Structure 1
Amino acid sequence: MLEDKYQMTLDQIDEAHAQDPKKHVVDSREIPYELWYSEKMTKYLSKRCPSASPSLQIAIRAQHLRRWEVPRDSYPMTKPGYHAWRTYLKKRQADLASRICLDNSLSEDEAERVACLIRKEDLKQDEETQALEDVACLVFLDDQFEDFEKQHDEAKIVTILRKTWVKMSDKGHELALEIPMSERCKDLVVKALSEV
């Protein structure tokens, strides 16, 4: 059970997610997309790291905090533009989450830890940062992959899958292989993994 200050932090993050104008339909009801996304992140965190620290739980929930306010097309639609957009978002989301942590009486160290996780610092060395990366990859594979693969050619999809796989831990790989997928998506995963 999370202490009140952690729960209040999560509640404030969810209040921000609830303002997302983009909607996702779940069981015939509309839910703000980022609220739905953060709930999916939390679901996968419970599988990947059932005893996650409060800092990791908050970082997972805040990973896309107010992301819709900086749309992809606000940066050049090029590979460098994409990377600049992602870099800016990580810093912005970390800063916003840190501020919410401090507003809810978390210590400066706790707020900075949440920010470090959202910025994905020390990936591969820090177990909690790796857990966050695994969860983000799992949500992509579970939620976005089927639509994504329809919009791009096979070579690009296989490349992205390979890059995604390399970012994940063994535990992440294990969970990824349990995700139900269409035959087409399974074939693409098999093809990508044969080249890793």
Structure 2
Amino acid sequence: MAPDVTRALELIDAAHKEDPNVVNINGERIPYELHYAQKMTNFLDLHTPGADPLVATAARAQHFRRWEIPRDTYPRTKAGYFAWRTFLKKRQAEQVKEICLDCSYSEEEASKVAALIAKEDLKKGEGKGDADAQVIEDVACLVFLDDQFDEFEKGHDEEKIISILQKTWVKMGARGQELALNMDLSGRAKELVGKALAG
């Protein structure tokens, strides 16, 4: 039986709609995680048109119920941040795998989606890890630059931001980097990206 991808995406979006954090997009108030998920799908379509349904499912569910475990539930340290991220990825993967199994994904297919969400097979550099994992990583980086960067950079000094951009850049594959260079970024973002790539 083929996986019911449409149903899985509906269930994933239904969870996103429960996010109490709201953003205003073109005059419409939208739960943030639904907005984020839509951005992930849009950039996936741009990055890899006609992407595999398992990749599309994982992209849509990247931040599944993330708001339920706020960053402040872990210490405000580097170790605390990584512990939070690790717990979230595992939790999100497990929850979305259950949705997939309920939507006629095989055990292998559901496990693949979970692995992509948990970023289990991602390694630095294109071609060295799972190609689908690299696609998801590229798309997440593009959404960060497009949707989160301007607000994020206001809370950090320039040296820190440039370091983050450099780390983001090396995590991306060639296709992701190509799209990033052609993004319609703010003037400040373009300036910082330029400094990061020149460094």
* TM-score for the superposition, normalised by structure 1: 0.96
CA RMSD of aligned residues (A): 1.0
CA contact (8 A) 2:90 2:118 kept: yes
Q: CA deviation at 1:180?
A: 1.0
Q: 1:110-125 counterparts in 2 under 5 A?
A: 110-124=109-123, 125=129
Displacement over 4 Å in runs of 4+: none
Deviation at 1:51? 2.2
Q: Is the 8 A contact 2:61 2:96 kept in 1?
A: yes
Please, which of 153, 157, 160 is the counterpart of residue 156 of structure 1?
160
Structure 2 distance, partners of 1:62, 1:129, is 14
For the 8 Å contact 2:3–2:105, the answer to whether it is kept is no
Cα shift at 1:72: 0.2
Question: Where do 1:100-119 residues align within 5 Å?
Answer: 100-119=99-118
Name the SS for the 1:80 alignment partner: helix
8 Å contact kept, 2:3–2:104: no
SS at match of 2:154: helix
Q: Deviations over 1:116-158 (max 9, x none)?
A: 1111122141110000000000000000111111111000000
Q: Is the 8 A contact 2:16 2:31 kept in 1?
A: yes
SS of residue paired to 1:7: helix
- Whole-angstrom distance in 1 between the partners of 2:96 and 2:76: 27
Partner residue, 1:87: 86
| TM-score normalised per structure 2 | 0.95
- Deviation, 1:10, is 0.5
For 1:38, the equivalent position in structure 2 comes to 37
1:126 to 130, 140, 156: 130
The offset of 1:4, in angstroms, is 7.1
What is the letter of the counterpart of residue 36 of structure 1?
A: H
The letter for the 1-side match of 2:153 is E
CA distance in 2, matches of 1:131, 1:177: 16
Q: Equivalents in 1 of 2:97, 2:114: separation in Å?
A: 6
CA distance in 2, matches of 1:181, 1:98: 35
5+ long unaligned stretches in structure 2: 124-128
Consecutive unaligned residues in structure 1, runs of 5 or more: none
